[in-house]
Structure 1
């Protein structure tokens, strides 16, 4: 529940304040958002399974964002940034859909 509330507050803050993202970091923002969504869906699944731990959520959230951005940064330095960015989004997307399927099964018992 805390994760969902934090997500809603973050979205509202972003809409209200409309922060400017530096040009050099614009490339990493979609990766950071997808990585954060992965952590939020994982936290919601853990909550529904009765194994949610707030410390694990915070560590997962931060490490997902930092690791995904670091992978894309290394890819940029190696000249394969687009390929690694696509790979990161595919992997995190699979995890998001897997968690959402588990959430759906838990809620609808189907």
Structure 2
């Protein structure tokens, strides 16, 4: 749970500081945020299923963001927009995690 607390503190700091991101980097930052949301919801799901492991959570958090950013960078080098594909995959995972959390919290 310490990792989730760190994410919450980081989000609050970002809201207070209002960091600026260049337009060139905005796609990468947006994908990193979507990957972070996916990992965070996966962590909540694992916690509710009593399978949460902090090491796995931190590794998944960092690797999801790194892989998503790397894929977009490779797509940019090949002149192929892979952003949509990555957002779709992460979006599906986010909705699956939300559904699992909802079932765990409210039953069913």
What TM-score bracket applies, with the shorter chain setting the length?
Answer: over 0.9
1:46 matched residue in structure 2: 46
8 Å contact kept, 1:3–1:44: no
1:68 maps to which residue? 68
Point out which structure has higher relative CO (alpha carbons under 8 A, 6+ apart): 2
Matches of 1:98 and 1:36 in 2, distance apart?
A: 15
Counterpart for residue 10 of structure 1: 10
- Distance across 1 between alignment mates of 2:50 and 2:63: 22
In the TM superposition, what are the counterparts of 1:1-110 in structure 2 within 5 Å? 1-81=1-81, 84-110=82-108
Structure 1 unaligned blocks of 5 or more: none
Structure 1 residue 22, shift from structure 2 partner: 3.7
**How many pairs does the alignment contain?**
108
- For structure 2, the residue ranges without an aligned partner over 5 or more in a row are none
Q: Distance in 2 between matches of 1:90 and 1:3?
A: 26
Scaled by the length of structure 2, the TM-score of the pair is 0.93
2: distance between equivalents of 1:13 and 1:38? Answer: 20
Distance 2:93 2:27 in 1: 21
State the distance in 1 between where 2:58 and 2:30 align: 19
